[in-house]
Amino acid sequence: MPNTDQSLGSLPSLLGTFNMAAVSMRYSHFAPRVYNLCRSLGFEPGKIMPSRAFCSDESQGYPIILLAKHFGTFPFNHGLVGGIVATDRHGPHAQHGKDLFIIQASHVGYDPDSKQFGMYRRLQTSQQNTTSNCGKICNALEWYLNEYKFAQNNIFLKYENGKHLVVIDNYLLHLEREQGLFLKLDYFIDVDNRGMPPLPEASLSTAKVFIATKEFVNTLKGVNWRADSQQAIRQHLKPELFYFKRNISQHAEGRDHLEKNLLPVMPYIVSSEFPALTAAQANTQIEFDRTFRSIAQDPAYKGKKVLFISGLNIDISPQTDQIFPLTKFIPWAAYIQDENGQQQTWEQKELYEKLMQQSLENTDQINLESEIEVMQKTKEILLPF
């Protein structure tokens, strides 16, 4: 899997420093390590109730199986589609165990053949088709990516009569729109104190021509402003130059919660090398910040040992001879509290180091096949009706 750290280097402070390849680990290594991490915090074997806030995608089944194997019980379901945490399930989760472990992970597919994130081979389809993954994230991004592509292909740069000119499609100049991609026009051209553009140098059938600001010209050092023809701005439309408006529900944990999380950083997502990966990263970080606060304040968790971890599940597409994906986990951050109310958070580096200190051996793990066989051989209990 390629190291994508450099492609994320220009993200705003909200996304922080999120290391990728250096801290990723196979789920078969992560599961015993996180169980042993719980044990190192004083969690009691057989009394730990794990919980997962994963997407409903079938590619998340393998991590769930491994968690069940190492914790000895099927994990509580704490998640909504897209890796959103259902905080109204804190109470039931807290009632189901003495000590409590929660893992939240957004997920993204990775196809090793095309080396693309956001895609995953579905073995159960008729032709083993490769489709979007996470579908919720990819569907949420589609509208924004289309708006971004339109802007990339409909803003032109040209040099004429000693002037650096920018040609902007009329759609992008309609500031009264309720939603869409909006340019930060003051970066491109000299606007008035209301943010309105000046009179154009020329009005075309579908666009207007303006004199570009010196600051804008200086930022496009890689552009060869040609006098003979105009060129689309394309990859030079950087995230600092635009923003989005979108009519979505602001209801917490509702249908548009994922999109609401991503909207403030969407310019950085659509312009990144791997938008689905960047979106999953952003959602993980936002959900951790939101969820750890809800755990710390929820009366149901008072007097309980709690470990909450957020990260990314990378679903590496299975080959034809595999049933499950070679899922990797990338830890982001952790929140810990003990039964006395002492609280702390671990940032990514500290969390990774804590996990790597743990053994890959788990003497408490169960054999799923033998346990299923026990259930099959147990005398049937007849229900009283």
Residue 207 exposed, middle or buried by CB count within 10 Å (0-12, 13-18, 19+):
buried
Indicate the residue type of 102: I
Cα–Cα distance, 31 to 37 (Å, whole number):
10
Domain segments of the chain: what residues? 6-134+274-377, 144-245
Cα–Cα distance, 315 to 312 (Å, whole number):
9
HSE-CB for 384 with a 13 A CA cutoff: 0
Residue 301 exposed, middle or buried by CB count within 10 Å (0-12, 13-18, 19+):
buried
DSSP codes joined into one string, 40-81:
HTTPPTT-EEEEEE--S-GGGHHHHHHHHHHHSSPPEE-EET
The predicted structure's pLDDT at residue 2: 35
The predicted structure's pLDDT at residue 36: 98
Helix ranges, the chain (H): 27-40, 61-71, 90-95, 135-154, 170-173, 185-188, 214-219, 257-262, 266-270, 275-297, 348-356, 368-377
Residue 200 exposed, middle or buried by CB count within 10 Å (0-12, 13-18, 19+):
middle
pLDDT 10s per residue in the chain (385 long)? 333 333 334 456 556 567 888 899 999 999 999 999 999 999 999 999 999 999 999 999 999 999 999 999 999 999 999 999 999 999 999 999 999 999 999 999 999 888 999 998 888 888 888 888 999 999 999 999 999 999 999 999 999 988 999 999 999 999 999 999 999 999 999 888 777 888 899 999 999 999 999 999 998 877 888 877 889 999 999 999 999 999 998 888 899 999 999 999 999 999 999 999 999 999 999 999 999 999 999 999 999 999 999 999 999 998 878 888 889 999 999 999 999 999 999 999 999 999 999 999 999 999 989 988 898 999 999 999 9
State yes or no: cis peptide before 38, omega within 30 of 0.
no
Query: Six-digit token pair at 303?
Result: 């007097």
> Structure pTM?
0.90
Query: Six-digit token pair at 83?
Result: 């890796």
